[in-house]
Amino acid sequence: MNDVLRESYNELAYPATPYPQTHPGRLSAIATLFGMKPPSIQHARVLEIGCADGSNLLPIAASFPHSECIGIDLSERQVDVGHRLIERLELKNVELITGDFVKHADRLGSFDYVIAHGLYSWVPPAVAEELLAFCHRQLSPNGIAYISYNTLPGWSPRGALRELLLREDRLRGESDDPWENARRYLQTVRDASAKAPGAFPSLLVASLDVMLSHPASYWRHDLLEAEQHPVSFPEFAKRLAHNQLQYVADSEFHATLGRGIPTEVLMTLQSVARDRVELETLMDLMVFRSFRQSIVCRKQIAIDGSLDPERLREMYVTGLIEGIEDSGDRWSYRTTRGITLAENDLELRAAIPILIQHYPAPLRIVSLAQQVSEKIGKAIDIDKLCRWVLRLFSYDAVDLQTATLPICNHPTECPIGFLLARIKGESSLEVTNLRHDHVTLTESERAILVLLDGTRSVPELAREMKASFNSTQDIVQILNSLARRALLVG
């Protein structure tokens, strides 16, 4: 079966991109909220199983040079691409291995963070079980694993489509490309569903819209891989327990708290659920959830779901806020996720412009408290501030990290771009920023970014690029844009 998977990914590589929900800084922050004391990510050993070309792992290694990062993948083609990039980056703290993680397990050692994205549901059940056994054997005492998987019952409609597409001759059609024929078929089903009455067709439309927004390589592996084993959340929790592991939370923190479910409904579910697994399963049913991203640890660790705001004090916060709306009788702010939140507390309102100004660099929460206190002329209750930040995190209005990131939120005299993005930018508009996000550059941004090695001042950049830009001010505007997009380290 490994040979089949290897050839599948060598033939059509899975889209190479960073996955913010897998970042150890995020995993560490959420685990800390639930009472854990996870290892420092600055000096952590990080393993990614199914690392492809390292697009998710290399930015972590580049941001935390004292960490040790290891990736393993079956696809020689994708690992070779990663090796060439590591050489260009001159990274000494990362290694990519071609092979089966089961066969390499003994020599890999223990890890503080294990990332297994897009693996558990797409391998034979025996391999999925070995992944959990590996985590039990080789997680450090307070280590964390991230495991994503397709979950039931929300994945059921995709399962039905998968069965139809895998029928004999279904991938044949007008095009010689079977994946183009599959795309057209899915588009036809999507368009028909949009015209059908009822709630279920609308759920199907939403699911297909997500799939069709990605290239064929995404849903070729996500939907049509030879192995496809969705699992219900209670069954996954049972398998964790069998391997002396336990569920901590979902990496999508808002999903753990049931954001998006009406309060009255959520309270009813809480009143009947006997434990967290049952409650989150009921919440999955309310939103017909099809994909989970579980944070996992050893079973003997005490998990505390009280979410004590005291645990945020030493964290770093990044505001994901686009602007403020003040209509006189209503004061609110918009998040980058398209959510509008109201705020009546005058002290907490003072924090919003500070977060906006500091973006995209992380700001330590105690520093935020100090700046708010200076702004309002009196000491703010830091516990109140922490509770507010936690509420914002539950709405994806802020990001939380347990360590800072080398992000410069304004260009310096001789600007320096994130090396990984500069190298990627030599041949593509698609790059990864310091916030572990995928960014699409404009041609103008790319032209400037690749030059930002710290040897050129802004006037020198203007002289060198005078054929492409009208004035120094044009260069400054692009530099400011790159800074706002978390692409500058200096």
pLDDT in tens, 294-312: 999 999 999 999 999 999 9
* Judgement on whether residues 216 and 278 belong to the same structural domain of the protein: no
- Dist. CA 366–CA 117, nearest whole Å: 33
Instruction: Write down the pTM of the prediction.
Output: 0.92
161 and 175 fall within a common domain: yes
Confidence category of residue 11, pLDDT binned at 50, 70, 90: low
Residue 478's SS3 state is helix
Structural domain contains residue 410: no
**Parallel, antiparallel or unpaired: strands 331-335 and 340-342:** antiparallel
Q: What is the pLDDT of residue 249?
A: 98
Q: What is the pLDDT of residue 346?
A: 86
Eight-class DSSP state of 343: -
Per-residue pLDDT at 236 exceeds 70: yes
Please tell me whether residues 136 and 179 are part of one structural domain.
no
CB 488 within 8 A of CB 482: yes
Secondary structure class of 246 (helix, strand, coil): strand
Residue 147 sits at φ, ψ, to 5 deg, of: -130, 120
Last residue of a domain, one of 167, 185, 220: 220
* Whether residue 244 sits in one domain with residue 181: no
Q: What is the pLDDT of residues 62-75, one digit of tens each?
A: 999 999 999 999 98
Contact (Cβ atoms closer than 8 angstroms) between residue 360 and residue 409: yes
Q: What's the pLDDT band for 282 if we cut at 50, 70, 90?
A: very high
Q: How many domains does the chain have?
A: 4
Grade residue 107 by pLDDT with cuts at 50, 70 and 90: confident
**Closest to 50 measured CA to CA, from 70, 29, 66:** 70
pLDDT at position 211 is 80
pLDDT in tens, 264-279: 999 999 999 999 999 9
Residues 120 and 164 in one domain: no
152-194: per-residue pLDDT in tens? Answer: 988 888 888 888 878 756 667 677 777 778 888 888 888 998 9
Instruction: Give the 3-state secondary structure of residue 391.
Output: helix
Selected residue with higher pLDDT from 201 and 293: 293
**Same structural domain for residues 162 and 197?**
yes
Angstrom distance (rounded) from CA 320 to CA 302: 31
How much is the pLDDT for 426? 95
Alpha carbons 137 and 118: distance in angstroms, whole number: 21
pLDDT confidence of residue 327: 73
Note whether 360 and 399 are within 8 A (CB).
no
What pLDDT is recorded for position 184? 85
The runs of H, that is alpha helices, within 72-115 are 76-89, 101-108
User: Is residue 21's pLDDT more than 90?
Assistant: yes
Choose the weakest-confidence range: 10-14, 152-156, 353-357, 462-466.
10-14
Q: What is the pLDDT of residue 265?
A: 95
463 within domain boundaries: yes
146 and 103 assigned to the same domain: yes
pLDDT at 163: 84
Pairing of strands 398-401, 430-432: unpaired
Residues 141 and 283 occupy one common structural domain: yes
20 shares a domain with 145 = yes
| Domain shared by 128 and 262, yes or no | yes
Candidates 255, 312, 279, 302; CA nearest to 33 is: 312
- The residue segments making up the domain with residue 178 are 157-220
pLDDT in the model for residue 375:
93
CA–CA dist 40, 25 (Å, integer): 9
Q: What's the mean per-residue pLDDT of the chain?
A: 91
CB count, 10 Å around CB of 133? 16
- Residue-level pLDDT at 181: 80
Over residues 358-409, the pLDDT tens digits come to 999 999 999 999 999 999 999 999 999 999 999 999 999 999 999 999 999 9
